[in-house]
Chain A
């Protein structure tokens, strides 16, 4: 094969031979390579943990945003009931913004999930190959002359080295994705803090919040009044009185 595929293999093999050139005698090469494998395994485990953390953070944000969609919807309805179309419009505008964020978060979570899956597969394969390499290395050390051992070591090291390169690629890609997601998550948090997406029943940060709160308080007063009126005219609506 002369095209892309063999070129990729050549690049991988070139990297590996550079790696193995460091050690001088065969058994040293084996031990050195084994240490590298174990280190990479640690690295991939850390990678999996990082992706998981990052995914959880995004999922938490998704839940928060879903809650604000519900609240904004309720608030828009309340505002309309109170005859305040302007406030209802403002709430619906915010809701649309939050929904956009939600859609993009869903895509990001799915992408991160894909990277996590690949990393976990790679970790399992690496672990199996390291195990095989460990037993083979002891056989090679014990049974072969230096010249023969060199050939066998080359074979074993290439086989496992390729897996190492593959795992290395998976870690790198997962890391890139995770960084992108974290930047994105921070951006969403900043938006929330800046008030663009804030829950507008909570607190009194914006004029919109205050106005809605006043309307709600106003309508509560109206309800209380209605209840009192009902009590005074007892007997007409007994079911409501019970509640």
Chain B
């Protein structure tokens, strides 16, 4: 599976890692719903560390889309929420 660490780049990860990511992702969702920024940031950092340490970086010229995107932990809770909503934190691209 291909994972994008937002602001850093794309990585290819093994299935075992995907399972670990899934578990962290569930905790992260709960933290976001509970407005627990500290817990959310900690889970996101763990996901980043996991992907960085066990993933294979994709070449910068690879055009493969990612299966999932992992935001950085330095977003505020509100920014993270927006990123996952239809509203989207990602700005409109140039017109």
Cα distance A172–B91 when bound, in Å?
7
Q: Chain A: which residue is nearest B23 at the CB level?
A: A3
**In the bound complex, what is the Cα–Cα distance between A143 and B64 (angstroms)?**
20
Interface size class of A (residues with CB under 8 A): 35 or more
A205 at the interface (CB under 8 A from B): no
B66 and A162 within 8 A (CB): yes
**Contact segment of A50-58, A63-71, A119-127:** A119-127
Per-residue CB proximity of A148-174 to B under 8 Å, as 1/0? Answer: 000000011011111011101111100
Interface size on B, residues (CB 8 A): 38
B42 located at the interface, meaning its Cβ lies under 8 Å from any Cβ of chain A in the complex: no
Closest to A22 in B: B95
Q: B7, A5: Cβ atoms under 8 Å?
A: no
Q: Please, how many angstroms separate the alpha-carbon atoms of A158 and B70 in the complex? A: 17
Q: Bound state CA distance, A99 and B28, in angstroms?
A: 39
User: Chain B residues near A200 (CB, 8 Å)?
Assistant: none
The answer to whether B65 touches A1, judged by C-beta atoms less than 8 angstroms apart, is: no
Residue of B nearest to A6 (CB): B68
B60 in complex: contacting residue of A5, A129, A161, A171, CB < 8 Å: A129
Residues 122-139 of chain A, each 1 if its beta carbon lies under 8 Å from chain B, else 0: 101100110111001000
In the complex the two chains form, is A118's CB within 8 Å of B22's CB? no
**Shortest beta-carbon distance from A40 to chain B in Å:** 5
- Contacts from A to B (Cβ < 8 Å): 1, 3-9, 11-15, 19, 36, 39-40, 43, 114, 118, 121-122, 124-125, 128-129, 131-133, 136, 155-156, 158-162, 164-166, 168-172
Is B68 in contact with A9, judged by CB distance below 8 angstroms?
A: yes
Query: B48 to nearest A CB, angstroms?
Result: 12
* Chain A minimum-CB-distance residue to B18: A1
Closest to B22 in A: A1
**Which residues of the other chain, B, contact A169 by a CB distance below 8 angstroms?**
6-7, 89-91
The residue that B83 contacts in the complex, of A3, A11, A136, A155, with Cβ under 8 A, is A11
Contact partner, B7, options A39, A159, A166, Cβ 8 Å: A166
